[in-house]
Amino acid sequence: MKSVKGGVTAARGFTAAGVYAGIKKVRKPDLALVASETPGPIAGVFTNNRVVAAPV
């Protein structure tokens, strides 16, 4: 996998932010939001697991 200079918003028309939403106890950004200026398909992955681990 290659890292793209400029990160997730390197592609024109995308904006992104990280916010603290209270998902984790530590008051650090724990939710990422990515928005596109134009409509497009989306997908999400949600898990419900008893094992605590760093997100993938």
pLDDT for position 1: 58
For 17, the 3-state DSSP assignment is strand
Q: What is the pLDDT of residues 1-42, one digit of tens each?
A: 566 677 888 889 999 988 899 988 889 888 888 899 999 998
The pLDDT assigned to 37 comes to 93
- The reported pLDDT for the residue numbered 8 is 82
Q: Residue 56 above 60 pLDDT?
A: no
Q: Domain ranges in the chain?
A: 7-36
pTM: 0.57
b or e along 10-44 (b: 16 or more beta carbons within 10 Å of the residue's beta carbon)? eeeeeeeeeeeeeeeeeeeeeeeeeeeeeeeeeee
